[in-house]
Every structure is written in structure tokens, then in C-alpha cells.
Chain A
Amino acid sequence: MRFTPTEDQIAFAEATRSFVSRECRPDVVRAAWATGRTPAALWDGLDGLGLLALLAPEELGGGGSELELTSAFEELGRAAVPGPVVEHAAVAVPLLAALAPDRLADSAAMSGGLTATVSDVVPYLGAGHALVLESDRIRLVDLNGIEPQESMDSSRAVGRLDRSRIDTAEVLAQGPGVAAHIARAEDRAALMTASFLLGLSARAIEITVEYTSSRRQFGSPVGTFQAVKHHMANAHIAVEMARPVAEAAAWAMATDADDSRRVCSMAKVMANKAARRTAKAALQCHGAIGYTMEADLHLYLMRIWSLLNAWGTTEFHSDRVFDALGDVESDFNRTRQASLVG
């Protein structure tokens, strides 16, 4: 048993970090809010890194696993990268690779990103098409003419698909075998959303530490006040305890372990709780400046809040963990003596 990240994981995370720290400054995220598009340089750069097609077969530029992808997604979260990155890289690409590989080369469908959803709500910034996942059927829906709804985070551009648009869309794959692929893609999306949330949270904590070290009240930096410190310590502890769960889930996915669904759900629950706690703490410690669209902090807060319910709410994933407890072949299901915890 070893928790050491792989060389590939480290290298990929570093490459991603250095790319987004150059190409995804806060003004780029703001531009996405304003224009409703993912800047081409950013999207193409992510493509160039190999991130978008990482889970495609090797001959199509992929060959990576969830292990590399989770660490990269944490970096994307740190930069609040706009656009349907999770939906494209963690859902659409692996589903197409498994069920309709020829479509991966279809630039009309793929350009600007392919998004995905399990409902009629779809984050689509920049994407021309969406995969709509029904229980055992996948449709390719043209997003032409979709208008973004007013929503928390405009850099996701969330739209609603009407029923007839879905019902008349092309069916890419269907049948009993498809359901298992969809279920796996949903688990993976929950996991990558969790990693993205951890990145957003870690960065929001850094921003707040910086801010509270310089903002002065009563003659001292507000970061010297213990109440402020304790908010940040709580947020930090929550994030640090959630990260190993996401890493374990990535490993479970990459090795196709029996408990991968449960561990992905655990990762989403832990990340949701950590992110919610962080968002509140970061805002509180910023005071009113944090409550404006002028401070960059809002790019993180709004994204955190919008991702809490993406790919399954806390409740949904908690229930899934609970339901799996019965089948956990853990070493702890044996008859025990009554025991104290102590």
C-alpha cells in the first residue's frame, strides 16, 4: 500500500499548473463571464496539454488514467478554469471512446468542447453539442440557439434543454451495456468535480490568507485575529482531509476496483463539505469587499456554490455511500465484542 503519486501524475499536474497560471488569470475567467465563450487560447492550450483527450485511446492522443486527471483537475480548480472541462474530458471523451469512437474525430461535434448532462440543465460555455445521458441511452444534442439562464456562475453558461430538443436528437448509443458506461462516467464526473472543488477551495484559502495578512483594522492585520485564523484553519483541515479521498477514488477508478462508485461518492461528499466551509470562511474573512463582483474572490465562491450540486448533491452521494455500506466487504463486518471508542 502506497499513497505516492505516480511520476505521470506529478508531471501532468505540474504542466497543467504552469499552463493555467499563465493562460487563466482572473481576467480571463472574467472575460468568460462577460462573453459567454471559453477563450480559444485556453481551450486549445488544454487540448495541447493532452488534458481534454486524456481518457481517449492512445492513438487519439490519450492513454492516461483518472490518476493523472484528478491531479490536473485540482489545478484547473485553482485557476477557476471556465468551460465544461469536466463534462468534456471526464464524461464525453471516455464515453465516445467506448461507444462511438469515430465521433472523437468529428470536429464539428467536438470543437469548442462537448458538454454532457444527466438532466435538462447543462453547463455549456463554448460547447456546440451536449451528450444527454439517459439511463441506458446517450443522445447527441445540438446546442445551437440555446440561451444561458441567469445563474450563479456565468462562466459555466448554464442552459435548459427543452424536452423536444432532447427527444428528437440523434441517439449515439443505447442498450443494456450502455448503462454501465454511463454510470461509470457519472462517477468519474462526480470525482473530477470534487477535485475541481478542492482546487477552488485551496486557492480561495490562499487568496484569503494573502488578503487578511495585509488588510488592517485596530492597528493590526486582521489575520492576526484568532477568530479569523480559526475560520481559515477549519477550511484548510477540511480540504486536506478531503484530498486523500479523491486520490483514493482516482485509484479505484483507474484500477476498476469494486468499490470505485462508493469511493467516488465519498470524495464528492468530502469535497462538497470542504468547499462549502471554505467559501463561507473566505467570504467572512474578506468582509464586504468579498461580497462584491470587484474582488476576484467571487470567481471562486460562485463556482464552488454552483458545483456543489453538479453531478450529484451531498445528499445524493451520502445516500449512495449509505446504500453501499451493506455490501462493503470490509474487515469490520465481523461479530465484535461490544466496544468502546475511547
Chain B
Amino acid sequence: MNLEESSSDHEFRMEARDWLRTNRPAERLPSPDTERGFALNREWERTLFEAGWAAVSWPEEYGGRGLGLWEWMIFEEEYFAAGLGPRAAQNGLFLLAPSLFEFGTDAQKAQLLPRIAGVEDMWAQGWSEPEAGSDLAAVRVRADRDEAAGGWRVNGQKTWSTRAPFCNRLFALVRTDPESTRHRGLSYLLIDLDAPGVTVRPVQKLGNETGFGEIFFDDVFVPDSEVLGGVGNGWKVAMATTGSERGLILRSPGRFMAAAQNLVDLYASVDGPSSTLKRDVVDAWISAQAYRYNSMKTVTRIAEGGKVGAESSGNKVFWSEMDVHMHETALDLLGDGAEIDGKWWHGFITSMATPIFAGTNEIQRNIVAERVLGMPRS
């Protein structure tokens, strides 16, 4: 065990810090969940890419820096500490890419990863459907074989797809075997949102951002080369993606550490805060540190050849509750100014979605109880 930062890690931290300080946008970037915000964030992502910061833990050939997960964690700490918000490219970077590394063919990796890092492609996630929310295995969007054309014809509807109105690509779970039920017969398709037959209807999210997309497929052609992980293996690939979403990859500790520090600063700026609120602030701060230690443990395990398993569900419950708790505390501290202070209430509205997306917390608790603790299935 050695929790000390090595001198090379420290140097890397300082390099990232200096670069971020000098190059971060002069004005706070708006949320990427509006058209304008998305465009501005994408420009910023491009700046990151050109300076080699888009994906520090990826091999250089794919647009990364060839470093490890430690450096990624350090970079993220510096990123959020520099006052920057969530990455507009996160679906591609943190959800699709880990699955591409695990299941992609060489051709898929060579073609897609650099375009993710360079924000030439912006990816949306297509899991949910009107009739398949928590019960993801109930997906009905179907892809029929088009042998002559060497691919699939997709029909049906996806929903709640974050930033889909602004994205050009979609990774989706669809039924490629019409006779199949539940987890079998599903495939993971990489779909062009500009392809003929695709309609994306924007849906306003709570807080008014046009962040959601409802996606309709009318005989949309997807070539065989755009199946990830093999026909019929969709469930397995999708579960790897959700593991990234629930585990540390989507939610690095840096963002919660920065938030906790913001909360401490907010507390210090408030006149006569109560001792109850002080306790809430300390709890938030300790939780963020605990999450950091827990993430370091996960990174250690991965570095030693381990994998992220069902325990990522516990992770997700923890970070989402922490996120909610931090924002509730901030609004309590702000009192009647809370609804005017934009950044905290926006953050609060965003946090309210965290126990719902990436699989609701009820579903995550079921997974922890059954697959981690071994309780009987109902």
C-alpha cells in the first residue's frame, strides 16, 4: 500500500494544472444540454484534443496520451478543480470507448476511437424505449436482416436519449432476432443519426434544457461493420457499458471533490449558518474523500488485472445520493436566494436525475442485494 503521489504523478498533475489554468475558457461554459452550449463545449473539447488532453489514458494511436487510469483520475481532479464542468463528449469517451476497447474489432477501434477523442463524432446512448425503462431486456426496437445489402434494417423508437438532438451517432441496444425474448437475441448497433429514416425529436428536460431526444427509426440501414461485439451479444456489451456508467469511469472523484470544496466555500460565505448545516457540509466533504479512496481502490484493482463487476451498482447509489445531498445542502445554505443563484439550482436539478438514470437506484439496490450479497431472487 502506498497512497503517496509519486513524483512523476505529481509532475503530471502540475502540467495538467498549468495547462488548464492557462487554457480554460475565459467564461464558464454553459451546460452542454442546449444547442448553443453543446457547440461551445464541443469547441472546448477540440482544444483539449489538440493539446493532447482529450483522453489521457488511451493509447496514442487512438488520440490519447498512452497513460494509465491513475493519470486519468489526476487529470479529472485538476479538470474539475479548475472550475470546468462535465464533458460534452462523455458518452463517447466514458461509455462507448471502454466497450470498444473490450469488444471492438481492430478496424472499429482504429476508425471510431480517434473520432471520439477528436469530437468528430458525438455519441448518444440508445437504451431506453417507451416500454423498456428499468426493464431494459424488454427492448423492442428491431433490426431485420438485409442479406443483400450486408446489414440491418432498424425500425422502432428509443427515448430519453441525452443530447441526441445534437449528436451525430448513437450506440443502441436492439433486437436482431425477432423470435427472441429478454436478454437473448439483442445486438449492440452503432447507428448514424444522419442516416435516412432517422428522426430525432427534442424533448425538454426538467429545467428547460432541450437535452433529451426521442428517436424514431424508419427502415434505417446499419451495415454489419457497425455491430459491436458480434450479433446476439448485445446484452453482454451493454452490461459492460453500464458498468462504466455506474462505476468510476463516468463519475470520477474529481467532480465530487470540487463540489465538496465549493460547498465548504459556500458555507464560509454564509452569515450564521446552523450547526446542522455544518454537519451536512462535513458529511459531503467526507463522502467525497471516501469516494476518492474507494475509486483509488478500484483503479488499483483494474491496474492489477481485475474488472469492474456488480459492485459498481453500489458505487452508483453512493455517488448519486452524494450528489443530491450536496446540492440540497447548498440550497439550504442559500436560503431564499437559492432559486435565483443559477449554478446551484441548475446543479440541483441535474442531481435530481442521478438516482433515475444509469439504472434507477431501486434497480441498483436489487443488484447489490442479489449479486453482491447473494440474497434470494424474487
Contacts and interface: CB of A to CB of B under 8 A. Distances in A.
Contacts of B282: 269, 318-319, 321-322, 325
B255 A342 contact: yes
B193 interface: no
Interface in A283-342: 315, 318-319, 321-322, 325, 330-334, 336-342
Contacts of B262: 336, 339, 341
Given A233-B314, A321-B286, A342-B31, A336 B82 contact: yes
A332 B343 contact: no
B1 A213 contact: no
A218 to B, nearest CB: 11
Contact of A334 (B81, B327, B343): B81
A220 B378 CA distance: 8
A interface secondary structure, majority: helix
B28 A341 contact: no
A1 B304 contact: no
A26 B289 CA distance: 36
Contact of A332 (B258, B293, B317): B258
B350 A331 contact: no
B178 interface: no
Contact of B368 (A67, A233, A255): A233
A245 to B, nearest CB: 5
A244 B28 CA distance: 34
B82 A213 contact: no
Interface stretch (A111-119, A146-154, A221-229): A221-229
A2 interface: yes
Interface in B71-101: 77-78, 80-86
A281 B326 CA distance: 24
27 contacts: A2-B303, A3-B1, A3-B297, A4-B1, A5-B1, A220-B376, A223-B376, A225-B378, A226-B378, A233-B314, A233-B369, A233-B372, A234-B365, A237-B368, A240-B314, A241-B290, A244-B294, A244-B296, A251-B3, A266-B290, A322-B282, A336-B261, A336-B262, A337-B83, A339-B343, A342-B255, A342-B346
B87 to A, nearest CB: 10
Given A4-B304, A322-B281, A224 B81 contact: no
B362 interface: yes
A321 B286 CA distance: 8
A42 interface: no
A252 to B, nearest CB: 8
Interface in A11-61: none
B375 A245 contact: no
Nearest to B278: A322
Given A1-B9, A3-B296, A336-B83, A229 B366 contact: yes
Chain B CB count within 10 A is highest, among A220, A237, A315, A325, for: A237
A232 to B, nearest CB: 6
A195 interface: no
B1 A339 contact: no
Interface residues of B, number: 76
A1 B347 contact: no
A341 B294 contact: no
Contacts of B278: 322
A213 B376 contact: yes
Interface size class of A (residues with CB under 8 A): 35 or more
Given A3-B300, A337-B82, A242 B350 contact: no
Nearest to B323: A341
B175 to A, nearest CB: 28
A155 interface: no
B2 A1 contact: yes
A241 B374 CA distance: 19
A230 interface: yes
A240 B294 contact: yes
A270 B281 CA distance: 14
A242 B373 CA distance: 17
Contact of B311 (A220, A228, A240, A319): A240
Interface in A206-228: 209, 212-213, 220-221, 223-226, 228
B291 interface: yes
Contacts of A230: 362, 365-366, 369
Contacts of A109: none
Contacts of B86: 340, 342
A248 interface: yes
A67 B2 CA distance: 11
A9 interface: yes
Contacts of B351: 341
A338 B83 contact: yes
Given A236-B368, A337-B83, A269 B286 contact: yes
Given A225-B378, A330-B257, 10 more contacts: A1-B296, A3-B3, A3-B296, A3-B301, A240-B311, A247-B297, A266-B289, A325-B264, A339-B80, A339-B84
B224 interface: no
B80 A251 contact: no
A237 B374 CA distance: 14
Contacts of B304: 4
Given A266-B286, A321-B285, A342-B347, A336 B318 contact: no
